[in-house]
């Protein structure tokens, strides 16, 4: 009899999940299962735990587990085999839209990917910007600082996102722009909480001004430096916020 690649790992008890406590129960179950698959803890060919085992580990009902499995099967990651169980058949969704996938992801996972994207955006923007780009970046920066001074958190956040979107547009890469917009929409909810918390929120005005000046001067090294300073500090604050 052939042995599944994941049998030893499953039998050793190394695969475990966290009890779900948040509101979007099915999404949370899907997210945890998908993460185990993506990281190779549940490799292709492995049989996932049985429904009763998953119900006990997640602390949810049978209908939730079945819906989560259905979602992952539809996405091409799992396959139910009558009388044998459910097996991993893929590691990447080929059908689920990116924005749906991002909405299900942990905010810090999304932020790490956005970090990588935004650093490259800063470098390309400094190299490729034109005068029209500088106008849009400067105008959104001025609006950002105006709303910050007025204490209008909602408009401040909108202007801040517009600033970064204008920087992304300066790369002249339409795919980068689309990706950045998708990531920004997913992070918007977390950023609303972040900017509203006086103990965590720092306005980073200096870094934004310095970033604009680096792009204006076509200094890609400085643009990356100020972007990294901003994003590393923001990530630490987001980590505190979601603890």
Per-residue model confidence as pLDDT tens digits over 122-176: 999 999 999 999 999 999 999 999 998 998 888 988 898 899 999 999 999 999 9
Tokens 């179950």 sit at which residue?
Answer: 29
**Alpha helix locations (H) across 197-219?**
205-216
Q: What is the pLDDT of residues 184-233, one digit of tens each?
A: 777 776 666 555 554 545 668 999 999 999 999 999 999 999 999 988 88
> What is the spatial distance between Cα 172 and Cα 59, in angstroms, rounded to a whole number?
48
With H, G, I as helix, E, B as strand and everything else as coil, classify residue 242: coil
- Residue 77 phi/psi, 5-degree rounding, is -100, -30
Nearest to 37 by CA among 82, 71, 2: 71
Tokens 């259905």 sit at which residue?
Answer: 70
> For residue 9, is pLDDT > 50?
no
> What is the spatial distance between Cα 9 and Cα 5, in angstroms, rounded to a whole number?
8
Q: What is the pLDDT of residues 37-87, one digit of tens each?
A: 877 888 899 999 999 999 999 999 999 999 999 989 988 889 999 889 999
- Residue 232 phi/psi, 5-degree rounding, is -65, -40
> For residue 177, is pLDDT > 60?
yes
With H, G, I as helix, E, B as strand and everything else as coil, classify residue 87: strand
For the record, the structure tokens of 152 come out as 């209008």
Instruction: Indicate the pLDDT class of residue 1, thresholds 50, 70 and 90.
Output: very low
How high does pLDDT run on average in the chain? 83
Burial 173-184 (b: 16+ CB within 10 A, else e): beebbebbbbbb
pLDDT-wise least confident of 11-15, 91-95, 157-161 = 11-15
Amino acid 118: pLDDT: 93
């Amino acid at each position: 009899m052939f042995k599944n690649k994941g049998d030893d790992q499953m039998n050793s008890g190394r695969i475990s999940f966290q009890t779900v406590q948040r509101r979007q129960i099915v999404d949370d179950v899907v997210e945890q299962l998908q993460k185990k698959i993506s990281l190779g803890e549940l490799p292709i060919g492995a049989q996932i735990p049985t429904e009763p085992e998953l119900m006990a580990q997640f602390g949810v009902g049978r209908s939730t587990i079945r819906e989560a499995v259905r979602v992952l099967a539809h996405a091409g990651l799992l396959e139910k085999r009558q009388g044998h169980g459910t097996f991993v058949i893929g590691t990447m969704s080929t059908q689920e839209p990116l924005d749906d996938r991002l909405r299900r992801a942990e905010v810090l996972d999304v932020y790490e990917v956005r970090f990588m994207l935004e650093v490259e955006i800063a470098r390309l923007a400094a190299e490729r910007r034109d005068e029209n780009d500088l106008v849009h970046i400067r105008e959104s920066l001025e609006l950002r600082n105006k709303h910050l001074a007025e204490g209008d958190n909602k408009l401040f956040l909108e202007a801040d996102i517009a600033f970064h979107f204008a920087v992304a547009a300066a790369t002249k890469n339409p795919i980068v722009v689309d990706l950045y917009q998708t990531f920004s929409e997913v992070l918007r909810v977390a950023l609303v909480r972040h900017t509203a918390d006086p103990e965590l929120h720092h306005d980073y005005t200096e870094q934004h001004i310095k970033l604009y000046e680096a792009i204006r001067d076509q200094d890609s090294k400085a643009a990356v430096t100020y972007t990294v300073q901003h994003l590393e500090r923001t990530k630490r604050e987001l980590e505190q916020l979601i603890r």
